[in-house]
């Protein structure tokens, strides 16, 4: 906890002093060092400042300063065994606890996209975050913990960012996290094959005056091309310890952790300066620029501004003001007592510098940074003879060329969907057979009861009909992971950017849209990588049309039942239809509701890499386990609720009439069997046939007069123009919770006899056999070819699941956007299904 959290009279022991530079020096000189006992004497009448007693004298600190000192108090010390000789007193226990707490190192991973940052983080922590070979995979921080040499190291993986300016949400987030959370050490992950671009971010970390350890990642690729880097000399020039790592193979992990521990000890163990391996440097920006920076720093250094500059380096703030960073200017105005004076001075310096250099001041600083990087690399780096990019260039000439670019892209998409259906059909049938066997065993083992009905009709038949499609979903994620890890996904962004721009989107919108094929929720979260808020909102609005894996079980069920000979092509066309509606919606919104000039297209095309089988399998397993857990929660609850609605009430007048008819049949046949001249075998067969017919009618009546049936009949008038009956309508309503429940609902409503329940093949047969029982269409199939396509289109387009709606609400920050999404997707789905039904029927007539 922080020292500012202690109440009057409470005592604590200092574990760690956060903050930076002058603040830490001032505080430690006053005796606030690790292991010292501090007592809260009293708060000022307005709760600030606070008087403390330390080392026998009174010291006054502002609450903001006290909040930067970590302590442990007596309650935490009670966790230590006071019976041991080393902790015989409470004060000794406090000291012991402070020693343990002081050995916690907070580490943040910072780096450009495509540097292997998350891959390295996964190796360090054992986490299972997916690693994609394009920017924007990590859209929020991930946490983990490791232990080494008596230290507990808390790891945080921050979003990939190219710099610490205020251009994108990632850049703002990373900069704010470093300044406000104040991690002890920053691990700057750098791509060894792209040093000049990556080291630009390193120079900004140097300006922030934070403790940095560099993980020079993918070092094996640098040596593979016979390049040479004197990393020790480079580390001395940068003032940073460098560890050589290969994140994908786990090489250099321990060296990186040891370098992190050493950097931490240099901060808090306070060794003599001569013992330090590296010293902090200042990047030199030229006489004119340095004069402006120094003047702004002098104006910032007044006691009233300590709250801001205890967290931010005055040099970093001055540089950002000269770069005309709007967020930094806003922060200075709000936090500094002389903020207006500082801003006015920075504006004068900017005008003078731009007049001097005939260039934008931010560009001047960027040029100086790249000049510093180029100079450092000139002294330490040497290219080999091999052209490292030759393979990538040769492949790109084909896959991103004008002639073959789009055909190859469409071919890859078709192969993905064809394999999803064709390869997934075999394990799907195995799982279905297992569910059928389980259902049969339960039917034979349990006596008739509501519990038996719940287990077989609700859980096994409902959830089982969904879990059968797990192999198809795993195959889909396999291909998405393969495209990401090889680097092809970034090429797909490149070749589709013109199309994206034509419909009012940025090329980066393509990544969340493709992720939408897996799940709409992370796809919506991935829109954070789009800097422009208008385009970010527009992308969120059309993501629901990208058919998520939750819809896949519905497609496979219906396509397998009615279009088995063209399954792969039909699945491809369904997904292509979703893309088409996304494009049309984007065009409409960009022209009518979200008029915007857009942002320039700037996106890295990383080199092609051969993905590891372990990475792809781990991604598949992670997503598959998420799918199973999802079913174990929402789908199971939805299946039970739907079963209950479909079961109750247990009786109705129609059902009683059919029961009486069945009893009469049994009595009449029993009387006939009593006659000596009757053919008992034939009579028994006739009775079974009659009773089976009455049972089917009773089950139909049960479904129709249940609460679920009544609800279906209530909404059927709105769906009848689309050709949907009440059963189809109810399944769509259940799909609002999660799209998989459409299948489980159909599985519950279209029951087979108990010995065969749980069979996907039998459910398909029931769908094919279902007929209209009344009206002008009596005797005609409910699922005609046209109606099935209309139903598929409605499933594709209508409102996303509740989780996706919540994600839109959270990411957009507007409940109106989420409400609008529900409304317009449902309208589009209804109109599209209506058009398919009526145009298709007219064409088939």
Residue with tokens 């430690």: 28
Contact of 669 with 661, CB cutoff 8 Å: no
Look at residue 820 in the predicted model and tell me its pLDDT: 92
Asked if 138 and 157 count as a contact pair (C-beta separation under 8 A), the reply is yes
Residue 232 has, within 13 A of its CA and on its CB side, a CA count of: 1
pLDDT band for 740, please (50, 70, 90 cuts). confident
Task: State pLDDT tens for residues 516-570.
Answer: 777 777 677 667 667 677 778 888 898 999 888 778 888 888 898 888 888 888 8
**Are residues 61 and 52 in contact, defined by beta-carbon separation less than 8 angstroms?**
yes
Q: DSSP secondary structure string, 270-333? A: ---GGG-S---------HHHHHHHHHHHHHH-SGGGHHHHTTS-HHHHHHHHHTT-HHHHHHHH
Among candidate residues 571, 544, 549, 547, the one with its CA nearest the CA of residue 466? 549
Residue 190 clears pLDDT 90, i.e. is over it? yes
Give the model's pLDDT for residue 17. Answer: 76
**Cα gap 598→529, rounded to integer Å:** 14
Q: Check if the beta carbon of residue 371 is closer than 8 Å to that of residue 284.
A: no
Cis? peptide before 449, omega within 30° of 0: no
Identify the CA nearest to 72 among candidates 143, 11, 122. Answer: 11
Other beta carbons less than 10 A from residue 806's beta carbon: 14
Q: What percent of the chain has a predicted confidence (pLDDT) above 90?
A: 11
Average pLDDT, the chain: 77
Report whether pLDDT(750) > 80: no
What sign has the CA pseudo-torsion 88, 92, 97, 103? negative
The band of 751, judged by pLDDT with boundaries at 50, 70 and 90, is low
CA diameter of the chain: 122
pLDDT confidence of 304, banded at 50, 70, 90? confident
Please report the pLDDT score of residue 752 as a whole number: 40
pLDDT digits (tens, 9 = 90+) for 255-284: 999 999 988 888 765 444 445 566 778 888
- Distances 146 to 106, 253, 266 between C-alpha atoms, Å: 11, 12, 20
Instruction: Residue 243: name the closest of 230, 233, 229, 257 by CA.
Output: 257
Number of CB atoms found within 10 A of residue 154's CB: 16
> For 796-819, what is the mean pLDDT?
83
Confidence of residue 506 (pLDDT cuts 50, 70, 90): low
Give the whole-number percent of the chain exceeding pLDDT 70: 77
Residue 421 corresponds to which tokens in the numbers above?
Answer: 């259906």
CA distance 364 to 289: 9
What's the distance, CA 702 to chain centroid? 43
Alpha-carbon dihedral sign for residues 775, 778, 783, 788? negative
At 73, which helix (H) or strand (E)? strand 69-73
Q: What is the DSSP string of 820-832?
A: HHHHHHHHHHHHH
φ, ψ of residue 486 to 5 degrees: the values are: -75, -25
Q: Is 512's pLDDT higher than 70?
A: yes
- List 71's β-bridge partners, or say none: 14
Q: Reduced to 3 states, what is the DSSP secondary structure of residue 217?
A: strand
Tell the residue number behind the tokens 């990208």, with chain if given: 546
- pLDDT of residue 759 exceeding 70, the answer is no
In this prediction, residues 168-189 reach a mean pLDDT of 86
Give pLDDT, residue 383.
78
Question: How many C-beta neighbours within 10 Å does residue 217 have?
Answer: 29
Task: In whole angstroms, give the CA distance from residue 170 to residue 163.
Answer: 9
Mean pLDDT of 350-369: 87
DSSP states of 453-486 as a string? HIIIIIIIHHHHHHHTTHHHHHHHHHHHHHHHHH
Dihedral sign from CA coordinates of 320, 323, 328, 329? positive
- Residue 382 CA to residue 395 CA, distance in Å, equals 26
- The per-residue pLDDT for range 396-437, each reduced to its tens digit, is 777 777 778 788 888 887 787 778 767 877 887 788 778 778
Which pair of tokens denotes residue 206?
A: 């140097």
pLDDT value at residue 280: 79
Residue 625 CA, distance from chain mean position? 15
Q: Tokens for 429?
A: 């049938």
C-alpha angle with apex 339: 334 to 340, nearest 5 degrees? 115
At 13 the pLDDT is 80
**Pick the residue with more confidence: 665 or 176?**
176
Q: Which of 62-66, 315-319, 382-386 ranks highest by mean pLDDT?
A: 315-319
61 CB-contact burial (10 Å; exposed 0-12 / middle 13-18 / buried 19+) = buried
The Cα 199–Cα 211 span in angstroms is: 16
Number of Cβ within 10 Å of residue 803's Cβ equals: 16
Q: What is the pLDDT of residue 293?
A: 92
Instruction: Give every CB contact of residue 788 below 8 A, 6+ residues apart in sequence.
Output: 558, 561, 562, 563
Select from 24, 22, 98, 72 the least CA-distant residue to 268.
Answer: 24
Query: Is there a contact between 350 and 361 (Cβ–Cβ < 8 Å)?
Result: yes
485 Cβ contact partners less than 8 Å away, ≥ 6 residues apart = 131, 132, 133, 609, 611, 612, 615, 616
**pLDDT tens by residue, 150-159:** 888 889 888 8
Q: Is the pLDDT of residue 623 over 70?
A: no
On whether the CB atoms of residues 94 and 13 are closer than 8 A, the answer is yes
216 pLDDT higher than 50:
yes
240 Cβ contact partners less than 8 Å away, ≥ 6 residues apart: 188, 202, 206, 212, 213, 214, 278
Is pLDDT larger for residue 776 or for residue 175?
A: 175
Within 10 angstroms of residue 684's Cβ, the number of other Cβ atoms is 12
Asked whether residue 692 carries a pLDDT value surpassing 90, the answer given is no
């Amino acid at each position: 906890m922080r020292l500012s959290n202690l109440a009057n009279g409470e005592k604590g022991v200092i574990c760690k002093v956060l903050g930076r530079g002058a603040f830490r020096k001032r505080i430690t000189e006053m005796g606030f060092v690790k292991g010292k006992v501090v007592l809260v004497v009293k708060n000022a009448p307005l709760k600030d400042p606070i008087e403390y007693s330390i080392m026998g004298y009174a010291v006054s600190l502002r609450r903001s300063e006290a909040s930067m000192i970590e302590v442990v108090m007596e309650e935490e010390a009670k966790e230590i065994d006071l019976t041991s000789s080393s902790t015989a007193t409470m004060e000794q226990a406090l000291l012991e606890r402070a020693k343990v707490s002081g050995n916690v190192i907070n580490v943040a991973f910072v780096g450009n996209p495509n540097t292997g940052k998350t891959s390295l983080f996964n190796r360090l922590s054992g986490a299972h975050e997916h690693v994609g070979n394009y920017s924007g995979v990590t859209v929020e921080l991930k946490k983990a913990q490791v232990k080494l040499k008596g230290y507990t190291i808390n790891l945080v993986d921050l979003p990939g960012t190219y710099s610490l300016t205020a251009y994108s949400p990632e850049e703002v987030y990373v900069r704010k996290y470093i300044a406000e959370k104040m991690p002890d050490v920053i691990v700057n992950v750098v791509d060894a094959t792209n040093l000049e671009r990556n080291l630009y971010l390193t120079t900004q970390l140097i300006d922030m005056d934070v403790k940095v350890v560099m993980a020079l990642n993918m070092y094996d690729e640098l040596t593979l091309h016979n390049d040479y880097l004197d990393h020790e000399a480079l580390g001395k020039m940068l003032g940073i310890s460098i560890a050589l790592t290969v994140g994908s193979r786990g090489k250099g992990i321990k060296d990186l952790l040891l370098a992190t521990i050493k950097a931490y000890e240099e901060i808090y163990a306070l060794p003599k300066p001569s013992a330090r391996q590296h010293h902090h440097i200042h990047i030199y920006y030229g006489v004119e620029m340095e004069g402006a920076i120094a003047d702004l720093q002098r104006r910032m250094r007044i006691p009233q501004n300590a709250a801001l500059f205890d967290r931010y380096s005055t040099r970093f703030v001055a540089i950002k003001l000269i770069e005309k960073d709007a967020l930094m200017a806003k922060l200075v105005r709000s936090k500094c007592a002389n903020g207006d004076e500082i801003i006015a001075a920075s504006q004068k310096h900017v005008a003078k510098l731009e007049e001097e250099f005939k260039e934008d001041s931010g560009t001047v600083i960027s040029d100086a940074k790249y000049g510093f990087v180029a100079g450092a690399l000139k002294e330490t780096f040497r290219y080999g003879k091999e052209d490292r990019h030759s393979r990538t260039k040769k492949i790109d000439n084909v896959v991103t060329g004008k002639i073959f670019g789009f055909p190859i892209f469409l071919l890859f998409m078709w192969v993905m969907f064809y394999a999803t259906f064709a390869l997934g059909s075999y394990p799907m049938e195995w799982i279905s057979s297992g569910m059928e066997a389980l259902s049969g065993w339960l039917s034979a083992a349990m006596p008739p009861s509501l519990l038996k009905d719940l287990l077989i009709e609700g859980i096994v038949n409902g959830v089982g009909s969904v879990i059968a499609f797990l192999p198809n979903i795993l195959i889909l994620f396999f291909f998405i992971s393969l495209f990401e890890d090889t680097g092809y996904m970034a090429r797909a962004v490149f070749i589709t950017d013109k199309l994206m721009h034509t419909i009012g989107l940025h090329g980066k919108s393509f990544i969340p849209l493709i992720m939408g094929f897996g799940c709409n929720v992370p796809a919506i979260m991935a829109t954070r990588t789009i800097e422009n808020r208008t385009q970010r909102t527009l992308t969120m609005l059309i993501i629901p049309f990208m058919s998520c894996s939750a819809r896949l079980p519905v497609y496979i069920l219906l396509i397998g039942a009615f279009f088995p000979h063209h399954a792969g092509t039909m699945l491809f066309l369904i997904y292509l239809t979703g893309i088409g509606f996304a494009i049309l919606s984007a065009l409409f919104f960009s022209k009518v509701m979200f008029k915007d000039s857009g942002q320039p297209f700037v996106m890295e095309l990383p080199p092609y890499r051969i993905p590891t089988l372990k990475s792809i399998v781990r991604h598949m397993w992670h997503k598959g386990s998420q799918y199973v857990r999802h079913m174990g929660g929402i789908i199971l609850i939805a299946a039970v609720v739907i079963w209950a609605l479909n079961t109750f009430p247990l009786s109705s007048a129609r059902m009683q009439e059919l029961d009486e008819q069945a009893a009469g049949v049994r009595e009449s046949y029993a009387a006939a069997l009593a006659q000596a001249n009757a053919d008992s075998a034939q009579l028994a067969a006739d009775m079974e046939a009659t009773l089976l017919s009455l049972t089917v009618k009773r089950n139909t009546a049960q479904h129709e007069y249940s609460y679920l049936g009544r609800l279906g009949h209530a909404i059927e008038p709105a769906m009848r123009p689309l050709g949907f009956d009440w059963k189809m309508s109810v399944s769509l309503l259940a799909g609002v919770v999660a799209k998989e429940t459409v299948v489980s609902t159909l599985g519950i409503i279209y029951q087979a006899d108990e010995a065969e329940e749980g069979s996907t093949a039998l459910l398909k047969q029931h769908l094919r056999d279902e007929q209209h029982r009344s009206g002008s269409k009596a005797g005609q199939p409910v699922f005609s070819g046209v109606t099935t396509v209309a139903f598929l289109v409605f499933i594709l387009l209508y409102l996303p699941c509740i989780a996706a709606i919540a994600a839109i609400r959270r990411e957009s920050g507007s409940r109106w956007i989420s409400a609008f999404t529900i409304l317009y997707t449902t309208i589009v789905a209804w109109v599209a299904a209506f058009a398919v039904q009526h145009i298709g029927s007219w064409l088939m007539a």
